[in-house]
Chains A and B, each alone.
Chain A
Amino acid sequence: MAPSTSSAITLNINGEKYTLPVDHRTTLLDALRERLDLTGTKKGCDQGQCGACTVLIDGRRALSCLQLAVAAEGRAITTIEGVADGERLHPVQRAFLELDGYQCGYCTPGQICSALGMLAEHADGWPSAVTADVRPEAEPPPLSAEEIRERMSGNLCRCGAYVQIAQAVARAAESPLGETEERVA
């Protein structure tokens, strides 16, 4: 007997429960955008190569375009719509706004969700590809410009707002880079 190709599922998104039937092919990204009218999560490539669809799943950043909705049942999903506290912007959002860490805005929700996940990873002491010494005995790497850039590299921005994005992330992290513009000259 052919297996059923759809299921009724309940998704936990931004603390709310949404029950819906889904075609198993439906990604979390499409469920958000096409079924639940949560269009803040963006579809830039639909194949895990741009980061625009970044959400937090169980507190960790993940790509909703490669996450099947049916497989996301039972997990806590946070989208850009759940980042602000009501009308009050999250510090990361405020930094993006004030430092112009975006242009067209299409990669922005993914950048912000990624930044939230990244800051949590850093707070947990995770090293990165540019961390000189990954051993746990080494000092945790400070959130330098280089660390921010490497850790945010899964979020492409075609407008070329990387400089301002890195600065906004640094400000939200209360790193010195966020307070003064990095001078090259």
Chain B
Amino acid sequence: MSATTDSTTMTKAVGSAHTRVEGVAKVTGTARYAAEVPHPELAHGWLVLSTIARGRIRSVEDAPVLGMPGVLAVLHHGNAPRLDGTYTTPFGPPDRGLQLLQDERVPFVGRPVALVVAETPEQAREAAEALVVRYDEEPHDVAFFADRPGMYTPEGAEQGKGDVAAELAASAVVVDARYSTPEEHHSAMEPHAATARWDGGRLDVIDSNQGSRWVADELAKLFSLDPDAVRVRSEHVGGGFGSKATRPHVVLAVMAATVLRRPVRVVLTRRQMFSLVGYRSPTEQRVRLGADPDGRLRALDHQAECLTSTVHEFIERSADFGRPLYDADAHHTVTRVVALDVPTPTWMRAPGEAPGSFALESALDELAEKCGIDPIALRLRNEPAVGPLSGLPFSGRNLRGCFEEGARRFGWADRDARPGVRREGRWLLGTGTAAAAFPTLSAPSTAAVTAEADGTFTVRVTAMDIGTGARTALTLVAADALEVPPDRIRMRIGDSEFGSAIIAGGSMGTRSWSWAIIAAARELRDRLVPGAAVPPEGITVRSDTSAAVGALPDMERHTFGAQFAEVAVDVTSGEVRVRRMLGIFAAGRIVNPLTARGQFIGGMTWGLSMALHEEAIRDQASGGHVGADLAGYHFSAHADIPAIEADWLDDPDPHDPIGIKGIGEIGVVGAAAAIANAVWHATGVRHRTLPIRPDRVLTAGAGGHA
């Protein structure tokens, strides 16, 4: 093999389908996840969680437990190492929920109050279950409902223009409707797990997360360590969806490894995940739309409410969704929040957009019905030329193209707009549509590309592949940038030592990491002298995209999509089955069509699951969940998922080096609304509360209004 690059080779890896580079490892079971890397002398930590929703720990009766077989330590607020809580993170103030075992306060059910460490998992579990913790309990408040006392408007959560009241009064047609979405959980298949050990003065952590550099930096700050003394690796991650930030398991694993000076593994149980890794806040939303008879919007008012904990403020910004989407003379969006005695919610796949699009895109459908015009025509009638609130130009906006292509393929033109008129046996049939939009973000990242003496190239970037296909996509990007076939690229990711990089989140990972890889690869290519040998240590070029990303002009940058669904509803049993879904997206350059399809369809599957199944139930008396497991918290199973098709328009971003936007979340957006709108079309009943459960369908019947 030549030790030089051949500048005449033109590869076209980007845009053609490639199976995953780690695919064989995944289908043969050799891909190791965070809890699967063996260590000699490994000890096992088991969490003990609070059983009250508010109060103080009176005592942790650790003495009997310390005498149980195999028990090595019981860490609690009385003996745990102190943590620093004064640092800042790239996302604002730190989550005080990570100040674990630091004081006796209990802010919610399911808060860690102790970690029991033992020689085997069985011993740790039994000892943790045997640990008696006594509390001084205080009255708690976990009741979330519309317009409840304590709601406040956080900074930056309200935007508007015009006079909503006046425009509503002047409107020929008005929709004023309330929508509710429940508490939803990420439920990644791989429970959060970390193994921590000290290795010659350095902390070495294997953790399941969405940003190993981020976690390493945060651990360094929490434990007051030199950032270079912390290494976090996350080679394979079994799903994240927003839940895999720095989480209690890794902090406590490090704590225990520090106290015991031996490797400690902490794995969350499925039940523990329901209180420790975040969730999507329930929402109460009110949408008011005012329009002329032809559907032109005079007023758009979207008021959303969500909850947070008393520990840390997180806002589910549902009302933001409509800001770039539709123009109106008066345009007002606000999200309010109330702090309750519950765990802190967090980002969950399409945060804000998922519940926000359910409300607004349902309301648009209601408006179309009232105006007597087609739902797609209504949306296209309100297309803005520039950002409705910002006045900024769009970097690209192809919602119209998505609807036109989708309508053509779905057979929308043949649709009878009347609800409740199609039947097949016991099933009423209906179709629905909704728009999707999601911000296109990018963040500074670094990468290093090395030309090896054997003619291969090694790319090192703290990218994460949580199932998105990023490892493969980045391989293709690097191959094209280096003008070599993908099999000459060795893609190394998921290691904090590879430098600063954005997390896998916000649909911006692949775009941001690719940018850094391309910058380094192009410079490397310029440096390589054709025909000259590469030295044994290789030639490495590093990049940092901070300046380039910072120089992006201010624009409205979004991906767009059109969602279509057909449902069958049996109003005598309440069962709803989705028969088919189609999503057409304008989401930038598609790097790997094979895995991109999975991202879109996976998002749409989430939308279906949100529409019909997902709902965590909080017991008001105890303040904790009822049925905090995968039999109590349903997400869609195989049998729920019909043929789902996703496709995309050619839609390169003009300001990205190769046109990438982001595709991880747009598939969720609008999907639940399309299904709810189809359920209306099937039955004539609007379902404004998710999930559309059988009891709700049964109670609402057909032809009335729920």
Contact = CB atoms under 8 A, between A and B. Distances in A.
Interface residues of B, number: 71
Given A100-B20, A104-B237, A45 B190 contact: no
B28 interface: yes
B453 to A, nearest CB: 28
Interface string A20-63: 00010110001001100111111111110110100000000000
B27 A44 contact: no
A47 B629 contact: yes
B196 to A, nearest CB: 17
B647 to A, nearest CB: 9
Given A50-B630, A89-B27, A100-B598, A162 B581 contact: no
Given A23-B120, A108-B27, A166-B638, A160 B602 contact: yes
B28 A103 contact: no
A103 B638 contact: no
B189 A107 contact: yes
Contacts of A112: 27
Interface string B152-167: 0000000000000000
Contact of A44 (B24, B30, B191, B643): B191
B190 A104 contact: yes
A33 B32 CA distance: 11
A64 interface: no
Contact of B605 (A44, A46, A162): A162
B78 to A, nearest CB: 29
Contacts, number: 201
Interface stretch (A119-127, A135-143, A150-158): A150-158
A94 B23 CA distance: 9
Contacts of A146: 639
B36 A33 contact: yes
B270 interface: yes
A26 B27 CA distance: 26
B188 A104 contact: yes
Nearest to B642: A184
Nearest to A110: B189
A26 B122 CA distance: 7
A102 B121 CA distance: 29
A102 to B, nearest CB: 6
Interface string B580-602: 11100000000000110111011
A40 to B, nearest CB: 2
Contacts of B35: 33, 39, 43
Contact of A158 (B120, B188, B269, B594): B188
A17 interface: no
B24 A160 contact: no
A159 B606 CA distance: 8
Contacts of A154: 637
A52 B605 CA distance: 19
Contacts of A156: 189, 630, 635, 637
Interface string B616-630: 000000000000011
Interface of B: 19-20, 22-33, 35-36, 38, 120-122, 126, 186-191, 236-239, 241, 267, 269-270, 409-411, 466-469, 564, 580-582, 594-595, 597-599, 601-606, 609, 629-631, 635-639, 641-645
Interface of A: 23, 25-26, 30, 33-34, 37-47, 49-50, 52, 79-81, 83-84, 89, 93-94, 96-98, 100, 102-109, 112, 130, 145-146, 148-150, 152-166, 181-185
16 contacts: A23-B122, A44-B630, A93-B28, A94-B27, A103-B239, A103-B468, A103-B598, A149-B639, A157-B638, A160-B598, A160-B605, A160-B641, A162-B636, A166-B638, A166-B641, A184-B644
